[in-house]
Amino acid sequence: MTGRVSSGIPGLDELIEGGFVKNSINLVSGATGTGKSIFGLQYIWHGLQNGENGVYISLEQEPENIFDDVRGFGWRFDQYIEEKKCIIEYLPSWKLEELPVVVTEKINEIKAKRFVLDTLTLVASRLDKIAIRAEISEFLSQLKKSDVTSLLLSEIPEGTKTLSRFGIEEFLADSIVILHYLEFAAGGVPRSLTIRKMRRTDHGTDIYPLSITKNGLVIKK
C-alpha cells in the first residue's frame, strides 16, 4: 500500500485515500484570498503535532507577519522553531537563485518530512521562458531526493480556468488541488476545493465547500 501523509485539513484525507502520497510533489493553486497560505501552514502545523518536522519557505512574507496571520488559529510555531523542529523562512526575490541550495540545507538541517513553498509562481516568473520547464523539473527532482512530501503553492489569475500561472507546473506535479473563491459557492460557502488529479489515488471528483474556521481550513460536506 502506498504510504500516505495526512493533509491536516479535516475532511480532505478521506477524499484522497488517507492523505498525500509520501514523498510526492503537490500543487495547491488558487487566486488571491482562496486560502493557499493557510492551507500550507496548516499542513506544516499538523505535521508538527504528529512528530514530523517541517520547512516553510515564503517568498512574500516575513515570518513575523506569518505568525500574526495564524495566531487566531492557535498555531504557535515559536516553540517548534526554538526546538529546531520547524523552519519558517523568508527568501527575498533577489535571492531566488539560491532557492534550491537553501531548501536542501533547511530540510537536511532539521530532517524535515514536510516542505511548503509559498509561492512557486514567484520562482517561475524569474526564470527564462525557454528554460522554465527544465529548471522547475530539476528543482522538483531535488525535492524528491530530499525525502519530503511537498506542497507548492501557486497563484493563478482571478476568473481563469488555468491550473497554474505558467501552464507547465501541473504536468510536473504529482497532484493538483485547486482552491476557488465564489466560482461555485458550493453549499452556500464562498470558498471551495476541487482535486484535479492525484497520481496513484482514487480521489474525490466533486466540488467541496471549504470554510475558514477558528481552527483553520475545514471541508464541509
- Is the pLDDT higher at 143 or at 170? 143
Predicted confidence at residue 128, as pLDDT, reads 66
How many C-beta atoms lie closer than 10 Å to residue 186's C-beta?
Answer: 19
Closest-CA residue to 186 (of 152, 145, 148, 220): 220
Q: Is the pLDDT of residue 10 over 70?
A: yes
C-alpha cell at 177: 488541488
Torsion of CA 63, 78, 13, 118, to 10 degrees: 10
Using alpha carbons only, what angle is made at residue 35 by residues 207 and 201, rounded to the nearest 5 degrees? Answer: 45
Q: Where are the alpha helices (DSSP H) in 90-131?
A: 99-110, 120-125
C-alpha cell at 110: 532539521
Of 62-66, 111-115, 154-158, 216-220, the least confident: 154-158
- Predicted confidence at residue 126, as pLDDT, reads 66
Domain boundaries, the chain: 4-219
The pairing of beta strand 191-198 with beta strand 114-118: unpaired
Three-state SS at 144: helix
8 A C-beta contact, residue 157 and residue 174: no
Query: Are 29 and 177 in contact, with CB atoms under 8 Å apart?
Result: yes
Number of neighbouring beta carbons within 10 Å of residue 35: 21
| Average pLDDT of span 176-202 | 90
Scanning the structure block, which residue is given the C-alpha cell 520547512?
55
Tell me what pLDDT residue 159 has: 60
Q: Tell me the three state secondary structure of residue 212.
A: strand
Q: What are the pLDDT digits (tens) for 14-72?
A: 999 999 999 999 999 998 899 999 999 999 999 999 999 999 999 989 999 999 999 99
Write down the CATH number for the domain with range 4-219.
3.40.50.300
Number of residues assigned to the chain = 221
Within 10 A of 95 (CB to CB), how many other CB atoms are there? 11
